[in-house]
Amino acid sequence: MHRYVRRAAAASTALALSLLAACGAGSGDDGKTVRLVTHDSFNVSKSVLKKFTERTGYEVEVVSGGDAGAMVNQAALNKGNPQGDVLFGVDTALLSRALDQEIFTPYRAKDLEKVPERYRADDRNRVTPVDSGEICVNYDRKYFAEKDLEPPRTLDDLTKPAYRDLLVTENAATSSPGLGFLLATVEEYGEDGWKGYWKKLRANGVEVVDGWEQAYNDRFSGSRGGKGEGDRPLVVSYASSPPVEVVDAEPKPKQAPTGVASETCFRQVEFAGLLDGAENAEGGRELLDFLLSKEFQEDMPLQMFVNPVREDARLPELFTRYGEQAKDPATMAPERIADNREQWVKAWTSLVVK
């Protein structure tokens, strides 16, 4: 999901450096360092990472791979001689590309049986599901209350005159949430209908920007973490965005300032895998087990604002109080995405981007 973004993206470089210092990375000549290649939005509590080292004896070195797409491309170029031992952050939209390149070595992670089948995507266990999230349209509650206007609920609603010039979305060619929103419309309207739907959105004044940061923090009127100057009360973001808006608020409000149009959502799952040619394959397998442990799974929601995939992992009170559950989010097989992504994005670009 990709993912996933938000606050973690702004501090990713500093976080990676702090983890390296905390874990003694770079002193792996004794074979006790395991290297995790991941995207810029990765985050984890130092205390949780310390438990892994105490339990296994392995220290974790975090290797930043850029955004998810760049990370997968680099892993393919380095096939057989990888940058690290485990790669985390391959999402649904990129999974088939990674599997086709055969960059992973099969491994069935401990406690995989505690992950529902709907999150698993490879019967050869080349990848392990780690988290999930829904890309959804978010709305600014204050705007709609002041206008005495019901916020949209469905994709169809977004094409209605009442919501003209209100929506901002990300470019499907350059942004994971933008691509996820495009896939949601393809799944909803089919090959014969999705282009017509986007023509209606364009006629209704949809705005397209390059990425999530610009859409949410600059253009969305409901963002409290951005400049607060946006004039678009609808934005393509995540079902977990409302908790983000209140995480630092004191006292906590009765309700998050943003809401979720729960019938506009597309589910993404993020995966991790043992890289082919890993120098420390044993440590890599231990790390994959740890990514499915209750400690890591229950730490993720407030670190990366994603949902755990382990069914017995508890969500923090901030999520249960302020988060919103997507109603039957759209999904799509990674193989179908891989077969059609390029042509869909090309067609979308010609329709929407001027």
Q: Are residues 346 and 220 in the same domain?
A: yes
In a domain, 238, yes or no: yes
Long-range own/partner contacts, residues 224-231 (CB < 8 A, 24 or more apart): 224/249, 224/257, 225/7, 230/168
Q: Are residues 187 and 245 in the same domain?
A: yes
Instruction: Assess whether pLDDT exceeds 60 at residue 46.
Output: yes
**Structure letter (DSSP) for residue 122:** -
Q: Are residues 21 and 78 in the same domain?
A: yes
298, two tokens:
């229950």
Mean local confidence (pLDDT), 189-197: 97
**What is the reported pLDDT for 330?**
95
CA distance 249 to 244: 10
What count of other Cβ atoms lies within 10 Å of the Cβ of residue 353?
12
**What is the reported pLDDT for 24?**
41
Q: What is the pLDDT of residues 275-322, one digit of tens each?
A: 999 999 999 999 999 999 999 999 999 998 899 999 999 999 998 899
Q: Are residues 213 and 155 in the same domain?
A: yes
In a domain, 11, yes or no: yes
C-beta of residue 42 within 8 angstroms of C-beta of residue 305: no
Higher-confidence position of 29 and 353: 353
Average pLDDT, the chain: 88
Mean local confidence (pLDDT), 223-237: 82
**Structure letter (DSSP) for residue 19:** H
Instruction: Assess whether pLDDT exceeds 60 at residue 108.
Output: yes
Identify the band that residue 13 occupies on the pLDDT scale cut at 50, 70 and 90. very low
Q: Are residues 179 and 196 in the same domain?
A: yes
Mean local confidence (pLDDT), 134-144: 96
In a domain, 1, yes or no: no
Q: Are residues 238 and 313 in the same domain?
A: no
Q: Are residues 253 and 275 in the same domain?
A: no
- The type of residue at 171 is N
Q: Are residues 203 and 272 in the same domain?
A: no
In a domain, 141, yes or no: yes
In a domain, 24, yes or no: yes
Characterize the bridge pairing of strands 33-38 and 59-64. Answer: parallel
In a domain, 218, yes or no: yes
Q: Are residues 16 and 71 in the same domain?
A: yes
Instruction: Assess whether pLDDT exceeds 80 at residue 16.
Output: no
Q: Are residues 145 and 125 in the same domain?
A: no
**What is the reported pLDDT for 69?**
76
Mean local confidence (pLDDT), 220-229: 75
- The type of residue at 258 is T
C-beta of residue 73 within 8 angstroms of C-beta of residue 124: no
Overall number of domains in the chain: 2
Instruction: Assess whether pLDDT exceeds 50 at residue 36.
Output: yes
Instruction: Assess whether pLDDT exceeds 50 at residue 200.
Output: yes
In a domain, 333, yes or no: yes
In a domain, 286, yes or no: yes
The percentage of residues in the chain with a pLDDT greater than 90, rounded to a whole number, is: 73
CATH number at residue 312: 3.40.190.10
Flag whether the pTM goes above 0.95.
Answer: no
**What is the reported pLDDT for 228?**
56
CA distance 331 to 114: 21
Instruction: Assess whether pLDDT exceeds 70 at residue 18.
Output: no
Q: Are residues 262 and 272 in the same domain?
A: no
Q: Are residues 256 and 289 in the same domain?
A: no
Domain that holds residue 259: 134-266+325-352
Least confident of 59-68, 122-131, 137-146, 162-171: 59-68
